[in-house]
Copies of this chain bind each other. A is one copy, B any other.
Amino acid sequence: MEFSSKLLERAVNEMSQLPGIGKRTALRLVLHMLRQPKEQTLALTEALQTMRNDIKLCKSCHNISDVDVCDICSNPNRNEAIICVVEDVRDVMAIENTSSFKGLYHVLGGKISPMDGVGPHDLNIESLVEKVKLGKVKELIFALSSTMEGDTTNFYIYRKIQEYNVLTSTIARGISVGDELEYADEITLGRSIINRIPFEATLKS
Q: Which chain A residues have a beta carbon within 8 Å of chain B's beta carbons?
A: 1-8, 10-11, 13-15, 17-21, 24-25, 27-34, 38, 40-55, 58, 63-66, 70-72, 88-90, 92-93, 96-97, 182
A8-B55, A47-B11 given; A31·B96 CB < 8 A: no
12 A-B pairs with CB atoms under 8 Å apart are: A4-B58, A7-B47, A14-B43, A14-B47, A15-B48, A18-B32, A19-B32, A28-B90, A30-B48, A41-B48, A42-B49, A45-B49
Q: A1-B93, A7-B54, A15-B44 are in contact. List 19 more A-B contacts (CB 8 A).
A: A2-B93, A3-B93, A4-B65, A4-B70, A4-B72, A5-B51, A7-B55, A10-B51, A11-B47, A14-B44, A14-B48, A15-B48, A17-B40, A19-B28, A20-B28, A20-B29, A27-B90, A31-B89, A33-B48
The copy count of this chain in the complex is 2
A4-B63, A11-B47, A97-B1 given; A53·B34 CB < 8 A: no
Q: CB distance B51 to A8 under 8 Å?
A: yes
Closest chain B residue to A92 by CB distance?
B4
Q: CB distance B52 to A33 under 8 Å?
A: yes
A4-B92, A25-B20, A90-B27 given; A44·B40 CB < 8 A: no
Q: What's the minimum C-beta distance from A66 to chain B, rounded to whole angstroms?
A: 5
Q: List B contacts of A10 (CB < 8 A).
A: 47, 50-51
Q: CB distance B48 to A44 under 8 Å?
A: yes
Q: In the complex, which of the residues A19, A54, A64, A70 has the most CB atoms of chain B within 10 Å of its own CB atom? A: A64
- Bound-state Cα–Cα, A50 to B41, Å: 10
Q: List B contacts of A47 (CB < 8 A).
A: 7, 10-11, 13-14
Q: B4, B21, B96, B97: which contacts A64 (Cβ < 8 A)?
A: B4
Q: B14, B24, B38: which contacts A52 (Cβ < 8 A)?
A: B38
